[in-house]
Amino acid sequence: MEDSKKREVQNPKGLNVFLEEVRRSPLTVTFLAIFTGLFLGGIIAALTSEQMYAALRVSVGEGIKVGAQAAWNTYRALFLGAFGDPAKISAAFASGDWLQINRALSPFFESLVQATPYIFAGLAVAFGFRVGLFNIGAEGQIFVGALAAVWAGVFIKGLPAIIHAPLALLIGGLGGALWGFVPGWLKAKTGAHEVIITIMMNYIAFRLSEYLLTGYLRDPNKTTPISAPIETTAWIPRLFPDPNRFHLGFFIALGIAYLVYLLLFKTTWGFELRTVGANPSAAHYAGMNIVRSTVITMSLSGMLAGLAGANEVLGVNRNLGVAFSSGYGFDSIALALLGNSHPLGVVLAALLFGFLRNGAIQMQLTAGIPIDIISIIQAMILAFIAAPAIIRTIYRLKPPKEVEVAIRSEGESA
Amino acid sequence: MTAQTMGRNSVQYISPTRERVMGVLFLVAAVAMWFFFLRNTEPGVVTTFGMTPGGSKVVAPDWVFETSFALQVLIFLTAFLGVYQLARGFKQRTNLILGIVSGFFIFAFLAWGTAGVSLNLAGLLRVMVIRSVPLTLGAFSGILCERSGVFNIAIEGMMLTAAFTATLFGSVTQNIWIGLVSGMLSGLLLGGVLAVLAIKYKVDQIIAGTVINIFSTGLTSFLSAKFLQKYQELNNPGRFPNWDFPGLSQIPFIGPIFFSHNLYVYTMYALLIVLTVALFYTRWGLRLRSVGEHPKAADTLGIPVNRTRYMAVLLGGLMAGFAGTYFTLGSVGRFDEVLTAGRGFIALAAMIFGNWNPLGAFGAGLLFGFSDSLAGKLTILRVPIHNKFLEMAPYLVTIIVLAGVIGRGQPPAAGGKPYEKE
């Protein structure tokens, strides 16, 4: 180690400079975190495969071989599920039949469909992080957004699609905004810790959705607690024929991500918000209104999460059942950190999570490996991103030149 | 209460505004009891409360009384308390009176809901105690961690993992005690993960907790789907039997409610005492709390801050692990995916509602357990309240407490901040 260090100092040129940069770059840590998470996921897949234990009885080498095979099969199924089968895709293109091409490519587009709510929810958490607020309540805001959107989709009738769909999306966003406003307002006015308040708001939202779906919003023709289908005018249009569910919401999400980027990094107001996040007391002495920025940030963050719920209801499910979100809100915390709380990073991380999730759904169907393995992988990636020192120790990376801006929830007041 | 003020600001400032708000609130409660309950009660109708839980051998006679008369008494008492509060003020005892008024209100509600029918009050309270177990034990875990200055929002994940581990090992070995110990150890392990992430790597403690929660949900669901559902014999760890506490369990009404349970309930009582004494009356507890309140001062006095925190978080993990094993070994006797269903977060709420104090957490656990228990019986009562709103109650009251409407809670001052030596 000592030797190579000296050499680099003596000869800071060419490849060495590049390697040095790579070793210090935070991006390296991000990639290695993802890689390590996936690698450990593979080990878990191997360790839990019954074939491996059967093979271990024969010999250790055989056991390792079969275990590696199991891990490989898991990721193969995941990859095929997420992107589609290359053989099928090329065959479809060779045949030139549109229907077949659509079928072959639909896994890929389905991954984008899965990534869409992740983009919205990840933006919600990332936006809060940038202003120093920890919105752990995205899950609840997603539920309320979905409830509001499904209400607008079912009970508002007779509007043309060009008005109805955007209106329903907006109402969904406002529902989420309300769920973000409450903790923001309480934090600003009373100092109540937003983490605890948003956790409580999550569970209030779950119970509220169960209440509404067994009563007011329930489809009277169904025995299960599920809402009536929304009016066709409220649909976010799908772009391809069935079974491809790819819909306009993906581009709306990208547009919103760009807007968030502009707001945070290209406006004075965004600068103010980020200053409040980076150094609240400096912001206060500079005359910035912390109360207002807290309330607005939590509301906007809630709105983004609400859009995730509305988008799912209007673009994918077109009705609302109990427990429809299954963890988007909590995954989005991991995702926002992975994307370094930057809109572009969030979009990339959301794509990764979307492909993982869709791949895992297919994997569960084809290879019989429970989908929950991706939660394990995501948790490990989150741990490595949150504690980059672990990754640096494993791979002997050097600390970054600039001081990393750590995300920290304030602990003084609960 | 005296314990809680030790080492804290013992001079309590009583806001005159809050005094008046409370007085008005009591009067509003009296009016509401008249408006919602008494007005809708026919004179002469009786309320019947069963005083013996189903299946209990210790029999107590039913309690039968005239509904409207009971309501009148409760309304009169509540109104009196409100007027007294406005005229003279209860000063330090305001919170106690608030508790009493809330109790009156709940009793009036039950009496009105039961008018003309009968409700097994003893059964309701017995279920309350049972439901409070994971909440109180989980809150104890939170108290241990947060008193030392480490947020623990991973109680849910630790409980879930422990429930799973206890089931698996208990089934494999066919020994419920091995199940119990392995579950507790898995909680300890996750406590170790939280401690290393939060203390060594200085990861934000909320994020560290989120890591554990996501990981636990993923791992237990994955393994359960892969193995437990396939091989049912792996999902049968057995249950701890009920045991009548000698003597105490023979008291009518009280005995069957509090002293005819399994190991978990008695351990909860014991831990309540042990934890209160340890935290507030020993040097160990003083050190633990000082590390959570003012780590720099503690360090100056030679208390090893991070080592103390490690110990507290590990103990917290062990406690959460014990709480988690309740779900399988103490309750249903089998593991299902995500069977904790957010109870870890209600435990967090109980910790806050109980003001980071074991006795308070126990009270909050009972209160939340009561709302849970009542939610299950609402359909018998024919009252126009949906049980989903009762299930919301723990979360709502926690928000109200956090916002300082009813007495602001006092969290440990250094909570959530990693300690760095200068």
Summarised one tens digit per residue, pLDDT across range A360-374 is 888 888 878 888 888
- The pLDDT value recorded for residue A401 is 57
Mean pLDDT of chain A: 85
Query: What is the pLDDT, as a whole number, of residue A402?
Result: 53
Q: What is d(CA B410, CA A124) in angstroms, rounded to the nearest whole number? A: 30
**CA–CA gap between residue A130 and residue A127 (Å, rounded):** 5
For A267-316, what is each residue's pLDDT tens digit?
Answer: 998 998 898 888 888 888 888 888 888 999 999 999 999 999 999 999 88
Question: How does pLDDT run across B186-237, given as a tens digit for each residue?
Answer: 999 999 999 999 999 888 888 899 899 999 999 999 999 888 888 888 888 8
Nearest to A48 among B226, B345, B395 (CB): B226
First to last CA, chain A: 47
Burial B253-276 (b: 16+ CB within 10 A, else e): bebbbbbbbbbbbebbeebbeebb
Distances B169 to A54, A257, B174 between C-alpha atoms, Å: 21, 47, 8
> For residues B352 and B354, what is the distance between their CA atoms, to the nearest angstrom?
5
The whole-number pLDDT of residue A323 equals: 67
Chain-chain contact of A206 with B342 (C-beta, under 8 angstroms) = yes
Strand-pairing partners, residue A321, are A226
Q: Measured between CB atoms, which of A200, A330, A386 is closest to B395? A: A200
Q: Which of A199, A408, A409 has the CB atom closest to B345's CB atom?
A: A199
- Please list every residue in chain B whose beta carbon sits closer than 8 Å to the beta carbon of residue A195: 151, 153, 206
Q: Is the CB of A196 less than 8 angstroms away from the CB of B395?
A: no
- Cβ separation A374–B218 shorter than 8 A: yes
The residue count for chain B = 422
pLDDT-derived band at B375 (thresholds 50, 70, 90) equals confident
Question: In this predicted structure, what is the pLDDT of residue A115?
Answer: 93
Q: How many angstroms separate the CA atoms of B320 and B154, rounded?
A: 9
Tokens of A287: 């005359």
Lowest mean pLDDT among A186-190, B235-239, B415-419: B415-419
pLDDT of B283 = 93
Are residues A137 and A184 in contact, defined by beta-carbon separation less than 8 angstroms?
no
Closest residue by Cα to residue A318 from A386, A198, A238:
A238
User: For residue A218, which phi and psi values (nearest 5 degrees)?
Assistant: -70, 140
pLDDT value, residue B386: 77
pLDDT of residue B216: 94
- C-beta atoms of A412 and B398 within 8 A: no
Q: In this model, does residue A79 exceed pLDDT 80?
A: yes
The beta-carbon neighbor of A387 closest among B203, B212, B411 is B203
Q: Which residue has the tokens 């120790």?
A: A393
Please indicate whether, in this complex, the C-beta atoms of B212 and A208 are within 8 angstroms of each other: no
Mean of pLDDT values over A221-231? 83
Among A372, A377, A411, the residue with its CB nearest the CB of B415 is A411
Going by the DSSP 8-state scheme, the letter that residue A234 receives in this structure is G
How does residue B3 score in pLDDT terms, banded at 50, 70 and 90?
Answer: very low
Q: Which of B147, B210, B391 would best serve as a mutation to test chain A binding (most A beta carbons within 10 A)? A: B210
Q: What is the pLDDT of residue B120?
A: 87
| Residues of chain A contacting residue B415, judged by C-beta atoms under 8 Å apart | 411, 414
Contact between A28 and A397 (Cβ < 8 Å): yes
Which of B203, B338, B400 best probes binding to A when mutated, by most A CB atoms within 10 angstroms?
Answer: B203
pLDDT at A92 over 50: yes
The arithmetic mean of pLDDT across residues A146-165, rounded, is 89
Q: Which residues of B touch A341 (CB under 8 A)?
A: none
| Six token digits for residue B284 | 């160990």
Q: Which of B206, B414, B416 sits opposite A136 (nearest CB)?
A: B206
How far is A213 from B273, CA to CA, in rounded Å?
Answer: 44
Spell out which residues of chain B touch residue A410, defining contact as CB-CB under 8 Å.
Answer: 416
CB contact under 8 A, B217 and A190: no
For residue A102, give how far its alpha carbon lies from the nearest alpha carbon of chain B (Å): 32
Q: Closest chain B residue to A208 measured between Cα atoms?
A: B388
Residue A240 burial (CB count, 10 A): 15
Q: Is the dihedral of CA B335, B338, B344, B349 positive or negative?
A: negative
Cis peptide before A243 (omega within 30 of 0): yes
Please give the Cα distance from B283 to B280 (Å, whole number).
8
Contact: B391, A208; criterion CB under 8 Å: no
The residue type found at B305 is: V
Instruction: Please name the residues in contact with B266: beta carbons below 8 A apart, sequence gap of 6 or more.
Output: B243, B245
Query: At what angle are helices A2-10 and A14-24 packed, to 10 degrees?
Result: 120
What count of residues does chain A have? 414
pLDDT score recorded for residue B141? 95
Which candidate, B205, B143, B176, places its Cα nearest to that of B351? B143
Contact B155, B213 (CB under 8 A): no
Q: Which residues contact B35 (CB under 8 A, 6 or more apart)?
A: none
Task: Please answer yes or no on whether A386 and B226 come within 8 Å at the CB atom.
Answer: no
Select from B202, B218, B352 the Cβ nearest to the Cβ of A379.
B218
**How many secondary structure helices (H) and strands (E) does chain A include?**
18, 0
A vs B, Cβ pairs < 8 A, gives: 154
The nearest CA of chain A is from the CA of B405 a distance in Å of 9
Indicate left, alpha or beta for A227 from its phi (over 0: left) and psi (-120 to 50: alpha).
Answer: beta
Statement: residue B177 has pLDDT above 50 = yes
The whole-number pLDDT of residue A325 equals: 65
Q: By the 8 A CB rule, do A119 and A142 touch?
A: no
Which pair of tokens denotes residue B175? 């020994």
Instruction: Inspect the interface and report whether the beta carbons of B348 and A196 lie closer than 8 Å.
Output: yes
Please tell me the distance in Å from B278's CA to the nearest CA on chain A. 24
For residue A327, pLDDT beyond 50: yes
Among chain A residues, CA nearest to B294? A412
CA neighbor of A379 nearest in space, from B209, B340, B138, B320? B209
Percentage of the residues of chain B whose pLDDT score is greater than 70: 94
> What pLDDT was estimated at residue B34?
87
Closest CA–CA distance from residue B406 to any residue of chain A (Å): 12
pLDDT at residue A179 greater than cutoff 80: yes
Name every residue whose Cβ is closer than 8 Å to that of residue A170 and which is 6 or more positions away in sequence.
none
* For residues A4-33, average pLDDT: 69
A408 interaction partners in chain B (CB closer than 8 Å): 204
| For testing contact with chain B, the best of A50, A190, A199, A413 (most B CBs within 10 A) | A199
CA distance A92 to A86: 10
CB contact under 8 A, B210 and A382: yes
Determine the distance from the C-alpha atom of residue B295 to the mean position of all C-alpha atoms in its chain, rounded to a whole number. 28
Residues of chain B with C-beta less than 8 angstroms from the C-beta of A357: none
CB atoms closer than 10 angstroms to residue B384: 7
> Does the beta-carbon distance from B207 to A382 stay under 8 Å?
yes
CA separation, residue B345 to residues A44, A98, B135, B265, B357 (Å): 28, 50, 9, 20, 17
Q: Is the dihedral of CA A127, A128, A132, A134 positive or negative?
A: negative
Distance from CA of A321 to the nearest CA of B (A): 16
Give the Cβ contact number of residue A194 at 10 Å: 30
d(CA B132, CA B354): 13
Share of chain A above pLDDT 70, in %: 92
| Mean pLDDT value of segment B107-128 | 86
Contact (CB<8Å) A211/B389: yes
Q: For residue B118, what is the enclosing H or E element?
A: strand B118-120
| Beta-sheet pairing, B63-66 with B46-50 | antiparallel
**Where does the pLDDT of residue B154 fall: very low under 50, low under 70, confident under 90, or very high at 90 and above?**
very high
Q: Are residues A330 and B214, on separate chains, in Cβ contact within 8 Å?
A: yes
Which residue among B203, B391, B399 places its CB closest to the CB of A200? B399
Contacts of A210 in chain B (CB under 8 A): 388
Alpha-carbon gap: A42 to the closest alpha carbon of chain B (Å): 13
Q: How far is A190 from chain B (nearest CA, A)?
A: 6
Q: What are the tens digits of pLDDT across the range A240-249?
A: 887 788 889 9
Q: How confident is the model at residue A6 (pLDDT cuts 50, 70, 90)?
A: very low
Return the bridge partners of B118, or none.
B48
Q: Are A308 and A177 in contact (CB under 8 A)?
A: no
Q: Between A54 and A79, name the one with better pLDDT.
A: A79
- Beta-strand ranges (E) seen in B254-355 are 260-261
Give A329's contacts in chain B (Cβ within 8 Å). none
Average pLDDT over residues B168-191: 94
Find tokens 């005492």 and name the residue: B273
From the list A379, A389, A409, the residue facing B215 with the nearest CB is A379
Q: Which residues of chain A neighbour B210 with C-beta distances below 8 Å?
A: 136, 330, 333-334, 382
Chain B residues with CB-CB distance to A383 below 8 A: 197, 203, 208, 211, 215
Which residues from chain A sit within 8 angstroms of residue B215, using beta carbons?
A: 375-376, 379-380, 383
Rounded CA separation A123/A254 (Å): 10
Q: How many CA atoms lie within 13 A of A243 on its CB side?
A: 8
Cα Rg of chain B (Å, integer):
23
User: Which are the contacts of A223, defined by CB distance < 8 A and separation ≥ 6?
Assistant: none
User: Do B208 and A386 make contact, defined as CB atoms within 8 angstroms?
Assistant: yes
Q: Classify B63 as helix, strand or coil.
A: strand
- Give the C-alpha distances (Å, rounded to integers) separating A36 from A39, A67, A319, A381: 5, 18, 38, 7
Give A378's contacts in chain B (Cβ within 8 Å): 214, 218
Relative to beta strand B243-244, strand B63-66 is: unpaired
What is d(CA B395, CA B367) in angstroms, rounded to the nearest whole number? 12
Supply B233's token pair: 């014999």
How far apart are the C-alpha atoms of A128 and A168, rounded to whole Å?
Answer: 24
Which range has the worst mean pLDDT, A77-86, B95-104, B160-169, B406-415? B406-415
Mapped onto helix, strand or coil, the DSSP state of residue A183 is helix
What one-character DSSP code corresponds to residue A227? B
Cβ separation A407–B204 shorter than 8 A:
yes
Mean pLDDT across A114-138? 92
Asked whether B12 and B92 are in contact (CB, 8 A), the reply is yes
Which residue, chain included where needed, has tokens 């107001």? A269
pLDDT in tens, B308-317: 999 999 999 9
Cβ-defined contact of B214 to A382 (cutoff 8 Å): yes
